[in-house]
Amino acid sequence: MNFSVARNDFYKTLQKVINVIPAKSTMDILYNVLLIAEDSTLKIIATDLEITQIAWTNCSIEQEGAATVPGKLLMDILREMPDIQLKVNLDEDYKILMHSDFGEYKLSGQSRNEFPGLPEVESETKFQSDNRRFKEMIEKTIFACSTDNLRPALTGVYCQILEEDFRMVATDGHRMVKFVNMDYENPGFTREIIIPTRALNFVGRNLPDDGNHEMVISDNHVLFELPGTKIYSRLITDPYPDYTRVIPEDSSREMIINRNDFIASLKRVSLFSNPMTNQIRLQLQPQKLVIDAQDIDFGGEANESVNCQYEGDEIKIAYNAHYLLDILRHLDDEQIRFVFEDADGPGLIFPAEKHEAQEILMLIMPVRLNS
Amino acid sequence: MNAFNRTVVQHKIKEFFLHSIARERLAHAYVFFGPQGTGKEAFALELAKYLNCESEGEIPCYNCPACQKIGKIQHPDIRFVFPGMSSLKSDEVQHLIKQKAQNPYADMEIEGNKNIAIEAIRELKNEAKYASFEARKRVFIISGAEYFSREAANSFLKLLEEPPGNLLIILVTEDKYQLMNTILSRCQPIYFPRFTDDQVKTIVEQYIQSEDDILPLIRIAQNNVKRVFKLLQTDYNQRREQAYKFLRAIASRDIVKIASVIDDLTQKRDKNYVLEVLELLMLWFRDVIHYDIITDKQQLINSDYEESIEGFTTHYRDSDFEQLVGWVEKSYFDIDHNAHPSLSLTNMAINMKNELIRDKIQKEV
């Protein structure tokens, strides 16, 4: 391997992938990045086995080749350089020699064969979608994922590529989000996959606001083709529970309320809830919602009332304030619709006015007041 | 068949796996059990290579990226767990794994807490939830499965009961009866018998070039490959000298001499050193009894000490050798169970001295 590249290009490319390198691992090869010089491009690859990211830049190559080098060290040396042309050479022992105007730097690398291979994805199962919409879908679903490894499937977001729509579902057993995107054309196949949350966070961070990106799905991996970079993620293979069964078909009670007022009151009242349970109570009365919280251990309590549209008989429901606030924060409409059947069943939260070509449903399970 | 050509393993085990793989009847989990130093972990790695090798000819080829990565225990889909792993720092773990990769037959020399903690199992479970990275068959190798902590074992059951499709779990243990029944009943046990002299020789020659004849060493290690490698690192001849010096002191009936040898032995305050010397002493008596009964020099462990053994056996022909070994064994057991080494050794020496003296008097009469 023998090539020369501008420091700025090298540095910026490395910067894109450097965050993938794990902080702690039993495989020391993962602290390395793989440099591949071929076809007048320099590719840099980093992986932590869950996520693999590639970025590339132009360079002039005298001899093609590949090797791995310690990522952090390369990053540190490049950071300290001004924008000059760098020459990079590889000798037989995988020692990488970098020449600059100031001097020479030798990094000891390893063979490409020891680095985990690039995941293979077939190009047939390709699926294109809009950056902005996908970013929104990630942001609005990911918070509801479970962090508990007891149910591995719930630690990822369930993505369904269906005949007529594309949906993402996330749940941890207490709350659930279903985001349906109907502004969509079926790519010629249907698939259901679970993408780990960490990978989606990465993709979300790397997605520009405009334009489109491509998602390629294989049996074991999903590839996101973004401008200037590619992100591969391993899929979770555990079966996802049948989430449709928890969504009630019809509910008799309905409340429409201003989201910001609701959040503000909830924040204040929830300060007085028991810090262990975060339990707050909603008392629904015609045209009025009373929120109250009580901490029996320390003797604090609070209540507030908020105006709302509600035409039913009086009812009391208790929720975990954190879960409820999480859900409300991830909606951006002024008015929201809160639908439920009774104090023991799930509560559904929608935007009061339907959006064009999309459907968001958030579900929260109540805390039982009396057994 | 062009398979496992370079793998040193009992024919039966090799045939068994080739059959199961050919008929797609590979179980989801195996327990490799058998005495120490019978190449269980090494074969587990070989099997992982076999299942993932990309070569068209000889399998495993040791050349393709998959074989190389597994050989270095750096394959993304092959996990190697050993006792005490979670209490070590990650660079220590890396170091031990590197050692294991260099010579999978050698002992790992793990110090301190030897538990397989629940964290290690959690990590495996977390790994298991993903699809495989690049392997055809993922393999989790858990060495020293008898060191499972109770919680870890129970947590591991879940993975054993519902393993994902392309995962092979191999538990390696020297004592399968220390495993919980619930774990054992969910795995297929594979027994690893001791290697023959030639097999051990082939293995040792792969890793160490030595001009010396290693046969006596193999015999002393009782065909335990792990011990052979360990003995090769230590000065085992010095230990043997110590053992025979001890025996000579006992035979001379000189209490002062005995005490000085015991001082020598216990000076290092290393229990294992004393135990090793005692073990060599037992092997000496094993040779003596053997020679006494069948007078065949071929089968001697200390084949380089033929003459001394012959002399000793004839000289003390009438003493009760079994009783003598009994004293050594008792002392070995006591010291292994933390008895005071020099007290136990002195006691042993006095008992043996009496046994040997009585005989000598008889002879003189």
* pLDDT value for B358: 53
A window 229-268, beta carbon within 8 A of B: 234-238
SS3 breakdown of chain A: % helix, strand, coil, rounded to 5? 20, 45, 35
Interchain CB distance below 8 Å, A26 and B133? no
Chain B, nearest residue to A24 by Cα = B90
Instruction: Test B125 with A149 for CB contact under 8 angstroms.
Output: yes
Portion 21-80 of A in contact with B at CB < 8 A: 24-29, 49-50
Greater pLDDT, A259 or B113: A259
Question: The dihedral of CA B16, B170, A149, B123: what is its sign?
Answer: negative
Say if residue A164 is exposed, middle or buried (CB neighbours under 10 Å; 0-12, 13-18, 19+).
Answer: exposed
Contact A307/B at CB under 8 A? no
Q: How far is B63 from chain A (nearest CA, A)?
A: 10
d(CA B119, CA B88): 12
Distance to chain B for A209, nearest Cα, Å:
30
The position carrying tokens 């989990």 is B29
B89 touches chain A (CB under 8 A): no
Peptide bond between residue B60 and the one before it cis (omega within 30 degrees of 0): yes
Per-residue model confidence (pLDDT) at position B167 = 92
Mean pLDDT for A49-75 is: 92
**Among the listed residues B241, B232, B242, B166, the one whose alpha carbon sits nearest the alpha carbon of residue B203:** B232
- Taking contacts as CB-CB distances below 8 angstroms, the residues of chain A near B125 are 149, 152
Contacts of B131 in chain A (CB under 8 A): 219-221, 234-237
For B278-296, give the DSSP string. Answer: HHHHHHHHHHHHHHHHH--
Q: Please report the pLDDT score of residue A371 as a whole number.
A: 54
Percent over 70 (pLDDT), chain A = 99
Chain B residues within an 8 Å CB radius of A114: 68-69, 72, 74
- Which among B72, B122, B133 has CB closest to A49? B133
How far is A216 from chain B, CA to nearest CA, in Å?
Answer: 16
Distance CA A73, CA A138 (A): 33
User: Using the beta-carbon criterion (under 8 Å), do B131 and A50 form an inter-chain contact?
Assistant: no
CB contact under 8 A, B68 and A113: yes
Q: Does A26 sit within 8 Å of B94, measured CB to CB?
A: yes
Instruction: Render each residue's pLDDT in chain B as its tens digit; 365 residues.
Output: 577 888 888 889 999 999 999 998 999 999 999 999 899 999 999 999 999 998 888 888 888 888 988 998 988 899 999 998 888 888 888 889 988 998 999 888 787 778 898 989 988 988 888 888 888 899 999 999 999 999 999 999 989 988 888 899 999 999 889 999 999 999 999 999 999 988 988 888 888 877 677 887 888 888 888 888 888 887 777 888 888 888 888 888 888 888 888 888 888 888 888 888 888 888 888 888 888 888 777 777 877 788 888 888 888 877 888 888 888 999 999 998 989 988 999 999 888 888 775 555 555 54
> Does residue A155 sit at the B interface (CB-CB below 8 Å)?
yes
A360-370 mean pLDDT: 88
Determine which of A25, A27, A221 to mutate to test the interface with B (most B C-beta atoms within 10 Å).
A27
Q: Give the model's pLDDT for residue A343.
A: 85
DSSP code string of A55-112:
EEEE-EEEE-EEEEEEHHHHHHHHHTS-S-EEEEEE-TTSEEEEE-SS-EEEEE-B-G
User: How confident is the model at residue B365, as a pLDDT?
Assistant: 44
Q: Do A114 and B76 touch (CB under 8 A)?
A: no
CA distances from A223 to A122, A123, A138, A195 (A): 10, 10, 16, 11
Query: Binning pLDDT at 50, 70 and 90, where does residue A370 land?
Result: low
The residue among A45, A113, A149 with the most chain B CBs within 10 A of its CB, best to mutate, is A113
Whether B97 contacts chain A with CB within 8 A: yes
pLDDT, position B157: 92
Nearest-by-Cβ selection for A238 from B72, B129, B134? B129
Q: Are B29 and B169 in contact (CB under 8 A)?
A: yes
Cβ-defined contact of B131 to A29 (cutoff 8 Å): no
User: Which tokens is B363 given?
Assistant: 């002879």
The pairing of strands A156-161 and A191-196 is antiparallel
A313-362 tens-digit pLDDT:
899 999 999 999 999 999 989 999 999 888 888 999 999 888 888 899 99
Contacts of B94 in chain A (CB under 8 A): 26-28
* Average pLDDT along chain A: 90
ipTM above 0.85, yes or no: no
Distance from CA of A31 to the nearest CA of B (A): 12
B131 touches chain A (CB under 8 A): yes
- Return phi, psi of residue B142, to 5°: -115, 110
Residue in chain A closest to B96 (alpha carbons) equals: A26
Q: Between chains, do B129 and A29 touch, taking CB under 8 Å as contact? A: no
pLDDT for B362 equals 52
Predicted confidence (pLDDT) per residue in A125-163, tens digit: 888 888 999 999 999 999 999 998 888 899 999 999 998
∠B268-B225-B48 over CA atoms, to 5°? Answer: 125
Residue from B61, B74, B80, B82 whose CB has the most chain A CBs within 10 Å, to mutate? B74
Q: Which of B74, B133, B134 sits opposite A114 (nearest CB)?
A: B74
User: In degrees rounded to 5, what are phi and psi of residue B96?
Assistant: -65, -40
Closest residue in B to A221 (Cα–Cα): B131
Instruction: Please enumerate in sequence order all residues whose Cβ is within 8 A of that of A159, keeping only pairs 6 or more positions apart, or say none.
Output: A166, A167, A168, A192, A193, A194, A195
CA distance B144 to chain A (A): 18
* CB spacing of A236 vs B126 below 8 angstroms: no
What is the nearest CA distance from A85 to chain B, expressed in angstroms?
34
Would you state the pLDDT for residue B360? Answer: 52
Residues of B in contact with A219 (CB under 8 A): 131
Spatial distance between the Cα atoms of A253 and A179, rounded to a whole number of angstroms? 23
Nearest by CB: B72 against A49, A114, A220: A114
pLDDT one-digit tens code per residue, A224-252: 999 889 999 999 988 899 999 999 988 88
Residue of chain A nearest B63, judged by CA positions: A113
Q: For residue A28, give how far its alpha carbon lies from the nearest alpha carbon of chain B (Å).
A: 7
Nearest to A119 among B90, B129, B134 (CB): B134
Is A234–B131 a contact, with Cβ atoms under 8 angstroms apart?
A: yes
Beta bridge partners of A32: A70
